[in-house]
Structure formats: structure tokens, C-alpha cells
């Protein structure tokens, strides 16, 4: 167990990273039980458990305080990048691995025409990933986009080995530019809830159905109805890579 005082705030349970909850404890026990495996092996196992077993969905996402807790993300079984990164950060702390949340602004990722219209363009504010302390250094991990959704949107899934950064999808499977980091807001030991939610409401007001929830829809449906038209998807990619 890591006991270095430098990481105290990166190991503690918080209101959002509530890793002492039954839900998070059960999740960790299922996917990364204590035993012979190393901290890296357990961290990697949890990465893939969050990435592929918690559905990624923008539409209908719950941005209430309770909805952003790791335990509630597990109860809901789905969430956006922020929800899934909160869950992964909490699960890491449950196995005594320091973790932080990283907030960034990015050019488009897994976006359809409808989502671009709701967001107001190709720039997505407050994309979230995690920073993980393993083998004496911090590495970035993005346990967000599951394999099945990556296949629909024709991008390679992000892998993580616990030793090197797993950051973003710079190109799709046809070599077209797909995602670019524009700005990093910082790394945080807990979710800065008001900063993130107020920022999202200001940057992307059309995507909120009400105070706490995003508009309803389905990324899978969007993929079938919009991105299945290769000529149109290609036009979007061409404009971004110009």
C-alpha cells in the first residue's frame, strides 16, 4: 500500500469518489480482486472493466450531484467521460492507487451531426480522463469509449498498460484526424462539480434538457443514422484535418 504523505488527497474517499460504498467495493472485488496480481495489473483490469462494462452515453446523462457519484454511475450503468473517469478514479483509490481527474477541452470525438448541433460545433468542453500513479510516475488513462462504440464510429479503442499514457484517438481507422486536445484545465483530487457543471451549461446550453439532465437520445442510433453515411462523415473529417 502507498503511504507517502504526498498522495493523501489523491487516496481519500470523497463525496464523488465514494469508493467505500458497497457498489464500488463490489465492482473492485469482481474485476480486480486482491491477491497475486500487482497494482498495475489490478489498475489495468479496472480500466477495461470501466471502459467496456459501463455504457458510454452522452444523451440523458445525469449531472446532479448524486448522479456524479461513482456509486450512482454503477447503479445507472452508464455515463459520460466525467462519470466514467470519476468511477475509475474511485476504483483506483479502493486498491490504494493514487488518482486524479484531468479536465480538458478537445476537438470532436465520437460525434454525430445531431451532437455537433447540440454542442454548437466541434469543440467539446470539460472532457474528462484520469491521472494514475503507478511505478513511481503519473500516467494518463481514458477509460471512456467502449470497444463496441468505437467500432460503430470507426475508431480504434484506447488501450492501457499502466505504464504509458492512454490519452485520445488522434486518427480514425482510415487515418483521418479525429480528436485533438486544445486546453487542459488542470488535475483535481476531487470532481470540481460547480466549475464543471456551470462551465458545461455556459459552453453547451442546448445539450441540457433541464437543470440536471442532458437531452435524450442515443449515440448508437446517431451512429447508424448519421455516421453510416461515409461521404458525410468523410466531409466532417476533412474539414477538421484541413
Burial 150-180 (b: 16+ CB within 10 A, else e): bebbbbebbebebeeebbbbeebeeebbbbb
Q: Map out the domains of the chain as residue ranges.
A: 5-241
Share of the chain above pLDDT 90, in %: 70
pLDDT tens-place string over residues 184-237: 999 999 999 999 999 999 999 999 999 999 999 999 998 887 655 553 444 443
Helix axes 81-94, 22-31, angle to 10 degrees: 80
pLDDT tens-place string over residues 92-136: 999 999 999 999 999 875 678 899 899 999 899 999 999 999 999
pTM for the model: 0.89
pLDDT tens-place string over residues 127-138: 999 999 999 999
C-alpha of 132 from chain center = 14
Q: Which helix (H) or strand (E) holds 49?
A: helix 39-53
Task: Give the residues across from 141 on adjacent strands.
Answer: 130
What pairing do the DSSP bridges indicate for beta strands 78-79 and 55-56?
parallel
218/88 Cα distance (integer angstroms): 23
Please give the CATH architecture assigned to the domain spanning 5-241. Roll (3.10)
Amino acid at each position: 500500500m502507498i503511504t507517502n504523505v504526498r498522495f493523501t488527497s489523491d487516496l481519500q474517499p470523497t463525496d464523488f469518489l465514494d469508493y467505500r460504498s458497497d457498489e464500488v467495493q463490489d465492482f473492485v472485488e469482481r474485476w480486480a480482486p486482491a491477491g497475486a496480481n500487482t497494482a498495475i495489473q489490478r489498475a489495468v483490469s479496472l480500466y477495461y472493466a470501466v471502459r467496456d462494462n459501463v455504457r458510454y452515453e452522452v444523451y440523458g446523462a445525469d449531472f446532479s450531484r448524486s448522479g456524479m457519484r461513482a456509486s450512482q454511475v454503477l447503479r445507472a450503468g452508464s455515463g459520460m467521460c466525467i462519470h466514467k473517469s470519476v468511477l475509475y478514479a474511485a476504483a483506483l483509490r479502493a486498491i490504494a492507487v493514487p488518482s486524479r481527474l484531468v479536465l480538458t477541452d478537445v476537438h470532436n470525438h465520437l460525434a454525430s451531426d445531431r451532437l455537433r448541433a447540440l454542442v454548437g460545433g466541434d469543440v467539446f468542453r470539460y472532457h474528462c480522463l484520469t491521472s494514475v500513479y503507478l511505478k513511481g510516475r503519473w500516467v494518463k488513462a481514458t477509460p471512456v469509449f467502449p470497444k463496441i462504440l468505437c467500432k460503430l464510429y470507426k475508431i480504434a479503442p484506447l488501450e492501457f498498460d499502466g505504464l504509458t499514457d492512454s490519452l485520445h484517438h488522434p486518427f480514425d481507422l482510415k487515418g483521418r484526424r479525429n480528436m485533438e486536445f486544445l486546453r487542459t484545465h488542470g488535475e483535481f483530487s476531487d470532481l470540481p462539480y460547480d466549475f464543471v457543471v456551470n462551465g458545461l451549461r455556459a459552453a453547451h446550453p442546448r445539450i441540457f434538457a433541464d437543470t440536471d439532465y442532458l437531452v435524450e437520445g442515443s449515440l448508437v442510433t446517431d451512429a447508424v443514422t448519421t455516421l453510416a453515411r461515409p461521404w458525410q462523415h468523410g466531409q466532417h473529417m476533412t474539414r477538421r484535418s484541413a
